[in-house]
Amino acid sequence: MVAHRPHTLNTENTNMSFAALKKSSGSSFAKLTKEIEKLSKPAGANVDERFWKPTLDKSGNGYAVIRFLPEPDGEDFPWVQVWSHAFQGPGGWYIENSLTTLNQKDPVSDLNRELWNSGSDADKETARKQKRKLSYYSNIYVVKDEMNPENEGKVFLYKYGKRIYDKIRTAAQPEFEDETPINPFDLWQGADFRLKICKVAGYWNYDKSSFANPSTLGNFDDDQLEELWRRSYSLKAFNSQDQFKTYEQLEKRLSEVLKQSPRVGNVLDESFEDEEETVTPPPTKGFGTRVESFKEESDDVDLSYFERLAEDD
């Protein structure tokens, strides 16, 4: 007969574990909250961990300090721009990158030009609703992020629109003679960007955002600056052909959304989108001719919002 040993409690290990549990009681709640937020996101919403996005507090305000980084190794520019469309029709949402980004013909742009030149006010209004949206992509270093302190000291991709672009352009091309132009993307002579967000009429407003005085990023030495710069993500990948559907694929999707074949005939030279959206500013001394490729866009649009709506259909 085998004698059963009485069950003994390992008090030492249990006490250590319980002590650790008690010590982490505050921080564990924060972790729990974050996990709940993740699970609360719509099904199918893919989160690209390479991207940073500001977080608003309960009052609807947001604050962070970021630094725009130079062009990645082997690339020519510290940003790329991508045109896209996001609108809803009888057949659902049309959310696609526009081939005009690559200086190619795009079915929505072709249709919008015809609508704009038809002479009909109703057609012009439809064209406005279907017009292109312009987004910029840059690498940033997060200096301060009070809502998500774990992001501080890391390099991310940042997607932004006209409002932020205007701040960059103003820094590079000051409006007054007593203001010194700066290159916001320079590691040594650039400046931290104080991002301030307020909710105005339901939209994010960036008017209070501004650049600080020029300084070396983080007062880091060259070895440290090189190390974080090499963490930058490729930007030219956003303009590669594989990020865009073919004209035929886009035309098919457009037909499905509109529930009819796009009525594109002879497209006139006059361009609604170019007239409404595109402005080429003059080059600025000290920033270089790269500023010439910036284009203005009338809306600062986060396409992820429309993508979530499309998923709910």
Portion of the chain with pLDDT greater than 90, in percent: 62
Extents of the domains making up the chain: 48-312
- pLDDT of residue 306 exceeding 90, the answer is no
What is the spatial distance between Cα 162 and Cα 143, in angstroms, rounded to a whole number? 22
Q: Is the pLDDT of residue 194 over 70?
A: yes
The pLDDT assigned to 22 comes to 72
Q: How confident is the model at residue 263 (pLDDT cuts 50, 70, 90)?
A: low
Helix (H, G, I), strand (E, B) or coil at 76: coil
Is the per-residue pLDDT at 310 higher than 80? no
Once rounded to an integer, what is the mean pLDDT over residues 166-194?
94
User: Of 150, 94, 17, which Cα lies nearest the Cα of 303?
Assistant: 94
Q: What mean pLDDT comes out for the span 177-186?
A: 93
Largest interatomic CA distance in the chain: 101
Return the beta strands (E) in the chain as ranges: 62-68, 80-89, 92-97, 133-145, 155-160, 193-200, 203-205, 210-211
More confident residue, 39 or 192: 192
The per-residue pLDDT for 84 is 96
Pairing of strands 92-97, 210-211: unpaired
- Any residues with CB less than 8 A from the CB of 55 and at least 6 apart, and which? 62, 145, 147, 148
pLDDT at site 202: 83
The answer to whether domain 48-312 has CATH 3.90.198.10 is yes
The three-point CA angle 185-187-189 to 5° equals 85
* pLDDT higher than 90, residue 287: no
- Alpha-carbon span 68 to 168, nearest angstrom: 10
Name the strand (E) or helix (H) holding 78: none
pLDDT in tens, 276-285: 343 333 333 3
Q: Is residue 157 helix, strand or coil?
A: strand
The answer, yes or no, to whether residue 272 has pLDDT greater than 60, is: no
The three-state secondary structure class of 177 is coil
Residue-wise pLDDT for 87-138, tens only, equals 999 999 999 999 999 999 999 999 999 999 999 999 999 999 999 999 999 9
How far is residue 109's CA from residue 132's CA, in Å, rounded to a whole number? 8
Cα pseudo-dihedral 72, 74, 79, 85, rounded to 10: -120
Over residues 226-243, mean pLDDT: 95
Average of per-residue pLDDT across 260-272 = 48
Coil, strand or helix at 307: helix
pLDDT at 203: 86
Residue 184's pLDDT is 96
pLDDT in tens, 11-22: 445 455 777 767
Is residue 44's pLDDT more than 80?
Answer: no
CA distance 274 to 289: 21
Q: Are 109 and 100 in contact (CB under 8 A)?
A: yes
Taking the model in full, what pTM does it have? 0.72
pLDDT, tens digit, 9 for 90 and up, residues 129-157: 999 999 999 999 999 999 999 999 999 99
pLDDT value for 23: 72
**What average pLDDT does the structure give for the chain?**
80
Q: Are 117 and 270 in contact (CB under 8 A)?
A: yes
Give the whole-number percent of the chain exceeding pLDDT 70. 70
Q: What's residue 281's pLDDT?
A: 37
In this structure, are residues 196 and 208 in contact, taking their beta carbons and an 8 Å threshold? Answer: yes
> Does residue 236 carry a pLDDT above 70?
yes
**Using CA of residue 278, residue 282, residue 283, residue 289, what is the dihedral sign?**
positive
